[in-house]
A and B are shown apart, each in its own frame.
Chain A
Amino acid sequence: MTEPVIQVEGLYKNYGTVAALRGVSFSVEEGEVFGLLGPNGAGKTTTVEILEGMRTPDSGLARVCGLDPEKSGSQFKEMIGAVLQSTSLPAKIRVKEAIDLFANFYRVHGNTNDLLKRFQLEEKRDAFYSQLSGGQKQRLAIAMALVNNPQVVFLDEPTAGLDPQVRREIYDIIEELKGGKKTVLLTTHYIEEAERLCDRVAIIDYGRVIKIGTPRELKHASAGTTRIEVRLAKPVENGVLGQLDAVANAREFDGTYVLHSTRAPHTIVALVKHLESDSNELQSLEMFSPSLEDVFIELTGRRLRD
């Protein structure tokens, strides 16, 4: 067994009275795409930026390629690349200039024209940063994260705020990285992204890792349940839906009832019968095969996107 490329043990971090991290531990092997999945405020950015050497933990251990990110200086920075969640570039810098500029800071760096081509920024090479769309800015940010051909890449919510089609473009780019044997740490609050891109996922909530595994393992752990989401004409009493046939658990989020069922057909028949006897009515019903969202609901009692 080789050493993990990223090693995190018992990280704690407070901002004043806010406990952002409360003992985060995980490790990432070489060549893995590892996801931190969690809602806003879970502590993803704090964790990643500690690993980038941008923030100081109160306690705990963080190592990247065996180095302490905070103390290893240039040697460390030459090895990593990152897309930050909150950052910007000067409004009047041109796309090509930005890549050239950052490339020049590194001892080893890729060719700007290749990067422009690879990230479909060729026709935008002379555009000002302020003229780019959200997706183009993000492609530029990823290109800049890769200028030094880093061994480890950190992507902090690389698709947040982009529309679904643009998001999928970025997925293709990240999948390409996977082929390149780089170690990638990706944070996201999109289930789809974690499921599609990550070899392994750590689900993180309120500054703690609550579950780690491959997307498949995690879904398996949610016992092969189907998620049934219904809206009803009248509210029902708490707990009634949880009593229905084959229902593992039932919760209500803003008027939508979310049931996890081990045998969906049985549950649906039971539900309809119950509603008839209660002179209630079904307004809508949707079924979902198990996803990481269900794992999250089961573990935390909340939905990922609220």
Chain B
Amino acid sequence: MLMLGQTIFNGIVIGSLYALVALGLVIVFKSTNRINFAYGQMAMFSTFIGYTLLAKFHLPFMLAFIGALVFSALLAVLVRNILRPAKSESSVIVATLALYMIFTAVAGIIWGWDPVSFPQVFTGEPFSVFGIIMRPNDLFNILLTVILMLMLFLFFKFNLNGIAMRALSQNLVTTSLMGASVNKLFTITWAISGILGGVAGILVAPTSFLDTNLMAVFLLKAFTAAVLGGFTSYPGVVIGGLSLGVMEGLVSSYISTDLMDTFAFVLLIIVLLIRPEGILGKRIRMLGKTSSTEESGEFDSSRPGMSMRKKLAFLIVSIALPFVFQGNTYILYFAVLTGIYMILAIGLDFLVGYTGKISLGHAALLAIGAYSSVILTSKVGFPFWLALLSAGIITGLVGLLLGFAALRLSGLYLAIVTLGLGTAVPQILLKWDEVTNGYTGLHAAIPSIGFFIIDTEFEMYFLVLAIVIVTIIVTNNILRSKIGRAFVALRDSEAGAEAMGVQLAKYQILAFVISAFFAGIAGSLYAHVVGFISPADFSIWNSLLFISMLFIGGVASIPGAMLGAAFMTMVPIFFAGSKSISAILFGGALLIIILFFPSGLAGFYKVGLNIGKRLFSRNSIGLKGPAEEEGTNVATRNK
């Protein structure tokens, strides 16, 4: 009984922090309809600022605390302004992921990657109330959270801005008609959100250590709390946070401590599938289907797949490369990795590019492929080729489940769920050590086909190249068939596609299966080429790298996916040893591309080509058919 009381109390202490972060996410979402995946990293960054003020400038705690919050508010406003050019939901998501990477890397450069300890606000002796042990700091957490929430409620209830802001979240048009300065309101919302995050960071830091990953798992918990509470109701979100804290406590003290973090993810999935509107949220009634997304115009699906010329160029370069660098195993090894990531990227593109569904957890699928393949070869005794195929099929089945779940989830929720998957799978691999060998990882067998043992980089190169070529051919065929057209049609207009007989559910699930299948194949190859896998290879950070490589290369384009994969393996080579510099480069490139050049590197290539064409054929006027008049007359007259 006593233990139960203690568990509940501890749950409330941690739950109130979940609630704070969740509130910060939700007020921004409600007013500006943007979800900030960098929120946790911003809080981490502000906490480090507080740390510097304390440790380097020796300010008193309260001053440092306030300093960090001021910084946090300013940072939030800055982020808001950076995100302005992003129009669509998915570009906001990806842009905040880019910021996630940048903040992490910059923090790593400034404060290092090693954890530091952060002082508690109150360091008094614990005392006991009815046998429940409480520390003054715990009470301070709860108190501060309650005060902040009350202030928020009062702010929204009585303040004129608050009233306008509530109106805003209900109807943007009326508010602008009301003459409220929408822009100022948005800025205030973001600043408040930043402060909430900063407070949470400073309260969370003493419970563990302060490092760049301080808020990564926390963010997922906050999403769970927000979803639990319905994403739109403030009291709902607070209750969501508190109950998540308590439930986690119960799971860890009565079932297993190891399951604690995975629990939040499982809960998230269950809630989203059963009651997507959460505990208190209003059911959002959707009549009919949402029609065409505003973003589909950014894509060019006029020539899906890869042209014959590009295929030939790739073939020539890729066959010549190993002979040029025959002695250089270092380069060959990275070329092999590039090939593996190309398979993954092309698969990911089926989802992100062609079907318009985001996946922030693709490293999890890679992991499932890799572990399946290693376990099948070493424990079951499958030959390599069979394990490779099985890894694809097993991962494809996981994709099938994910696809079913995704049918009920809109863009934002899908992003959260896949982020959850990406966070949960490495955790599960870590904990499930009878099979996965935990931290230590597993050794993978050297691949062989029949009697032919593939043990040099040179041979592996051709193995991977063969699979890359098959991948390209199959992808090309799919894209230029009924199936590929159905994917793109669904992305451009669900209503239009359904009216033409395209079965939404079938094709959406199929896209997940294909994508996962390729991820599984890539995972298997990765395991056997590298020779060793551990959960660290498949962290959420890798998932973010994958999504950014795709956007950097250019979505909805096979050459784009391939360029992205090459970029991803190449950058760390040039900046060997500096994780931070390459992360900044990645994040920065991703941010610029998503905000200003939606067609990625593949698009640059096209621009370059056009300039080249113009330079070399100045007198070819008059050959222009209507097909080349693109972009001249984009009329959207409405009646």
Partners in one complex: no
Interface residues, chain B, CB within 8 Å of chain A? none
Interface residues, chain A, CB within 8 Å of chain B? none
